[in-house]
Structure 1
C-alpha cells in the first residue's frame, strides 16, 4: 500500500489549524471590543456574522441542490451552534470577566473530550487542559448569575460546534458547507444585525470587516478543516487554546498582567495539547485513512463469483472425504492461507451505495486489487495483480462511478485478517457432464475472520468483530446444481445458511441496516442483530 499520513502528523495539522483559528478569534475580539459601545454587543456579533457569510458565499459559491436531508441537517445545526456560541459568549463577557466567561464556555468542548475518551490517559489530558484554563481565568469574587447562565449556554453551543466541526470537516461538503452554515447563523442573528446597519460609520468598517474575516470566516473555516484530520474528542482538548491565547493576547495587546497562575495555566494547556499529539502517534494505525497513492497501468481479469455462505457452530470441522464421495466428489488436501485485506470506500459509503466493493488483499491465490459489483445474478469481480499502487483501470472505474472528488476521498473503511483453510472438490467421474472438464468444481473455504472497522473517528474507537464462516464457491464452468448437492453435507457437519451477504458488510456492522432498508422481515433483522452482537463478543474474547 501507499504511504498514508500518520495519526501524529494529522493531529499536528489539526493542532496548528486550531491555533490559527484561535489566534484569529482572539485578535478579532480585540478589534470588536472597541465597537461595543456604539454598535452594541449583539449588534457587533451579528454584523460580523453577516459580513463573514457574504464573504464565504462569494468565495465558495456553495450549491443548494443535490444535497441530502442529512447534509442539510448538519449544515443547519452547525449554523445554530455558531450563532449560539457567539451571541451567548458576548452576552456573558458583558457581565463577567473575560477569563471566567471563557472558562465556563470551554466546559462545552471539554465535556465532549471527556465523553469521547476511551482511555484514562485521554480523559486525564482533558482534565489537565481544563485545569489550565481554570488557572488562566483566576476564579474569585461574586459572579453575575445571568452572566454564568449565558456562559453555560455559550458552552453548550461550543460543545455542539466541536462535534459538528469534525463531522462537517470529514464530510463531502467541506468549505462550501461552512459557507452555508455561516449563512444560517447570519440569518438567525439578522434581528440584531439589521437594526445595527444604520449606525455603522466609515470608521467602523475596517475593524468590523477585519474582525469578521479573522474571528468568523477564518476561525470557522480552519476549525472545520481541522476536523478532517482528527476527532471531536481531540478538537475538544485543542479548543482550550482559546482561553490560553486570550490570556497571551490580553497581556501583549491590551496590557493585561499575566500572573504566575495564568502562566502556569498556559503551560498546562500546552502540555495537554502535546500529550494528545504524542498519544496519537502511539496508537498505531489511524481510523479512516485516505488512499493517497499513485495508480499503475495494469489489465484487470473479469470473473463471476457464485457462492453460498454458512455460519459454523463451535467445534465443527469440514466434512471428510467419505462425505464428499457420497455425492460424487473427491477432495484435495486442504491448504491454509493467511490473508490481510483492506477495503476502501468514502466516509459516506458512496461505493457501497452502488453495490461496489474495492479491496486490496495480500496472501492467498488471488492476492491483489479487486473490484466487486453486486448484481441480481451474482457478484461480478475484476482483479488486478498485487502492487503498491492502485491500478489505473480501477481508479478510472471509481472515478466514473463517484467522480474525481469521490476518488480523492477514498479511504480504508475496514481491515480483515483471515486464516483460510481451502479444500478443492473435483468430480469423481471426469467427463460426466459436470460442467468443468478440467480443474475443480467447488472451492470450500473455512474462514476464521478478525475484522477491524476503520470507520471510527479514532483508533481508540474502532470496533472489532470476529467470526467463523464457510464459503462454497463455484469454480469456472461448473454446474450450479453442485452447490445444491453439497449443501446437505455441510449442514450435517454443523453449518447453517448465513444471513450475511458480504464480509465487508459484516465487518462494518451494516448487515441489519441493509436488510432493514431492503424491507426484510423483523425476524431476519433480529437475527442479523444477534449476529452483530456475537461477532463483537467473540472479538473481545480474542483480544483478551
Structure 2
C-alpha cells in the first residue's frame, strides 16, 4: 500500500516540475531570438509583438469567453496579467544592455523572495542559501567582476518584483482552467505592452519579416511557457516553484551562449551549478 502510494506520488511531483523546466527552456530560447530583434523595433516593440501575437493565438485557440468568469477572480486575473506585461517590458529592457544569463539571475531574486516568505522548514532555507551563494558569484558584487549597466540592472530587479507578484497572483487563479487563466491574463498584459510598443516602433512592427520573428518569439516566450507554468502552479507550493525557477539563469546563459555567443566566466558557470543544485535538491527533498 505504502509502496503504491509512493509510486503514484512520484509522477504527480515529476510532471509539474518537468512542465516548469520546459517553460524555462522555451522562454529563454525565445529571449535569445528577441534580443536579435532589438535593433529594429527596440525592447518595447519586441514586447508588444511577443505579448500581442501570443494574445491573439491564445484567444483564438481557447476562446476563454465560452466559460463564465467568476467576479471574485477578475481582480486577481487583472493583476496577474499586468504583472506579465510589466515583467516582459522590464526584462527585455534589461536584455538590451546586460547578458541574458546575468539579467535572469537578478530577476530570479523575485521567486527566491517568495520562497523565503513561504518557507517553514530549515532545509528549505539551506537550498535557498545554496542558490543565494550561486547568485553572489554570478552577479558583479566582487572587485574583479565586470561592471554592468546600472539601468539594465534596475530593469532586472523591477522584473524580479513583477515575477514574485506573478507567482502569488498566479497561484490565486490556478484553480481555474489553465487555458482560460493564461488567455485572460495575456489579454491584460497586451493592454499594457501594446500601446508602448506601437508608440516606440510604429509601422515597423507590421513588416513581414518582423512579424514572422515575432510569431516565433510569442510562441516560445509566452504561449508555451505560461501554459506550462500554470500547470506547475496548480500542483507545486510557492517555495518549491520558486526554488525550481532558480535554474533560469543557467538556462538563460546557455541560450545566450548558443544563440548569441554570450560568454560567461568559469566562476559564473560555477554559480549556475550551485543554483541548479539548489533546484534539484529542493525537488528531491520536498514532500509536498
TM over 0.5, shorter chain: yes
Runs of 4+ in 1 over 6 A off after TM superposition: none
For 1:159-170, list aligned pairs within 5 A: 159-169=164-174
Are 1:158 and 2:160 an aligned pair? no
Q: Secondary structure at the match of 2:65?
A: coil
Structure-2 separation of matches of 1:34 and 1:146: 20
Are 1:177 and 2:166 an aligned pair? no
Q: Secondary structure at the match of 1:41?
A: helix
Structure-1 separation of matches of 2:262 and 2:150: 25
Q: 2:134 maps to what in 1?
A: 132
Q: 1:149 maps to what in 2?
A: 154
TM-fit CA distance, 1:276: 1.4
Q: 1:239 maps to what in 2?
A: 245
Q: 2:68 maps to what in 1?
A: 66
Q: 2:115 maps to what in 1?
A: 113
For 1:337-486, list aligned pairs within 5 A: none
TM-fit CA distance, 1:39: 0.7
Greater share of strand: 1
Q: Contact 2:134/2:274 (CA < 8 Å) preserved in 1? A: yes
Are 1:37 and 2:32 an aligned pair? no
Structure-1 separation of matches of 2:60 and 2:107: 31
Give CA-to-partner distance per residue, 1:178-206, whole Å, 9 cap, x none.
Answer: 10100110011121233445113222232
Structure-2 separation of matches of 1:125 and 1:8: 20
Give CA-to-partner distance per residue, 1:373-405, whole Å, 9 cap, x none.
Answer: xxxxxxxxxxxxxxxxxxxxxxxxxxxxxxxxx
Q: Contact 2:30/2:221 (CA < 8 Å) preserved in 1? A: yes
Give CA-to-partner distance per residue, 1:231-272, whole Å, 9 cap, x none.
Answer: 121111111121110112222332333432233222222221
TM-fit CA distance, 1:135: 3.1
Q: 2:228 aligns with which of 188, 202, 222?
A: 222
For 1:80-91, list aligned pairs within 5 A: 80-91=82-93
Structure number, greater radius of gyration = 1
Give CA-to-partner distance per residue, 1:481-537, whole Å, 9 cap, x none.
Answer: xxxxxxxxxxxxxxxxxxxxxxxxxxxxxxxxxxxxxxxxxxxxxxxxxxxxxxxxx
Q: Contact 2:140/2:146 (CA < 8 Å) preserved in 1? A: no
Q: Contact 2:111/2:163 (CA < 8 Å) preserved in 1? A: yes
Q: 2:272 maps to what in 1?
A: 266
Q: Secondary structure at the match of 2:226?
A: helix
Greater share of helix: 2
TM-fit CA distance, 1:10: 3.0
Are 1:276 and 2:263 an aligned pair? no
| TM-aligned CA distance change 1:273 to 1:10, over 3 Å | farther
Q: Secondary structure at the match of 1:256?
A: coil
Give CA-to-partner distance per residue, 1:71-95, whole Å, 9 cap, x none.
Answer: 1112111101101111111122334
Q: Secondary structure at the match of 1:240?
A: helix
Q: Contact 2:55/2:187 (CA < 8 Å) preserved in 1? A: yes
What TM-score results when the alignment is normalised by the length of structure 2? 0.88
Structure-2 separation of matches of 1:145 and 1:68: 42
Structure-1 separation of matches of 2:137 and 2:251: 13
Q: Secondary structure at the match of 1:172?
A: coil
TM-fit CA distance, 1:160: 0.8
State the structure with bigger RCO (CA 8 A, min sep 6), 1 or 2.
Answer: 2
TM-fit CA distance, 1:138: 5.2
Q: Contact 2:245/2:279 (CA < 8 Å) preserved in 1? A: no
Q: 1:198 maps to what in 2?
A: 203
| TM-aligned CA distance change 1:224 to 1:272, over 3 Å | same
TM-fit CA distance, 1:16: 1.1
What TM-score results when the alignment is normalised by the length of structure 1? 0.48
Q: 1:51 maps to what in 2?
A: 53
**Which runs of 5 or more residues in structure 2 are unaligned?**
none
| TM-aligned CA distance change 1:111 to 1:261, over 3 Å | same
Q: 1:500 maps to what in 2?
A: none
- How many residues are treated as equivalent by the alignment? 281
Q: Contact 1:166/1:230 (CA < 8 Å) preserved in 2? A: no
Q: Contact 2:38/2:96 (CA < 8 Å) preserved in 1? A: no
Q: 1:207 maps to what in 2?
A: 213
Give the root-mean-square deviation of aligned CA atoms.
Answer: 2.3
Q: Secondary structure at the match of 2:261?
A: coil
